[in-house]
Each structure stands twice: as C-alpha cells, then as structure tokens.
Amino acid sequence: MLNNRRRRPTHPGEVLREIVLPETGMTQGEFAKRLGVSRRTVNELLRERRPVTVDMAHRLARALKTSPDVWLGLQQDVDVWDMLQRHQHHYEKIKAIRPRKAA
C-alpha cells in the first residue's frame, strides 16, 4: 500500500473532470484549444486513460495558474500505486541490502 492507502490515489484527470472543468464552464474542446492539444488528448486524460506528462503538466500549470509539480505529483502517486498493485509480489521477494562493515 502507498502510505497505507487502501484505495487508488486520485488521478489528475478526475480532478480536471470533477472540479476544474465544471468551475470554468468550459467544454472539453474549449479546454483542449486553450491548452494547445487535441480534444482527444483531453478526453483521454479526463477518462483517466492517459497520464499527465511533463509537457501536459506545464500546459495545465500555465492555464490554471498552478505549478507543474501539482499535476506531476498527482500522476506520480497514481503511477506508484498502480505499479505496486501490479508487482507487489515481486517487490516482497527483494531483500534489503546491508552495507558491509568497515574492516
């Protein structure tokens, strides 16, 4: 579990879909045009089928007066969670490396 979380962290697309777009009153097409990307790109992000890239984080930060770190942090939390869910059984087999004692 990521920080003992039992549920998947919030995807940045959900934040955009549930909070940002309703507050702005913009359509997906208008939002896409403002960001300089295709409507399909925005749609896939909102449907959580596309991750926030560094490029997209900069676009969102500029348009929404935030920091790219906000969007990348949300995406990183999702990525870490998803990978842990997929490969936890492999990770549990890895033994900690102890430093050698000085001679």
What is the pLDDT at residue 6?
85
Element (H, E) at 29: helix 28-35
Is the confidence at residue 3, as pLDDT, over 80? no
Q: What contacts 99, CB < 8 A, 6 or more positions away?
A: none
9-91: CATH architecture: Orthogonal Bundle (1.10)
**41, 48, 77, 103 from 80: Cα distances, Å:** 22, 15, 5, 38
Helix (H, G, I), strand (E, B) or coil at 38: coil
* pLDDT for position 47: 98
Is 103 a residue whose pLDDT tops 80?
A: no
pTM of the model: 0.87
- As a whole number of angstroms, the distance between CA 61 and CA 71 comes to 8
Answer with the residue of higher pLDDT: 100 or 75.
75
Which pLDDT value is given to residue 2? Answer: 53
Q: Where are the domains of the chain?
A: 9-91
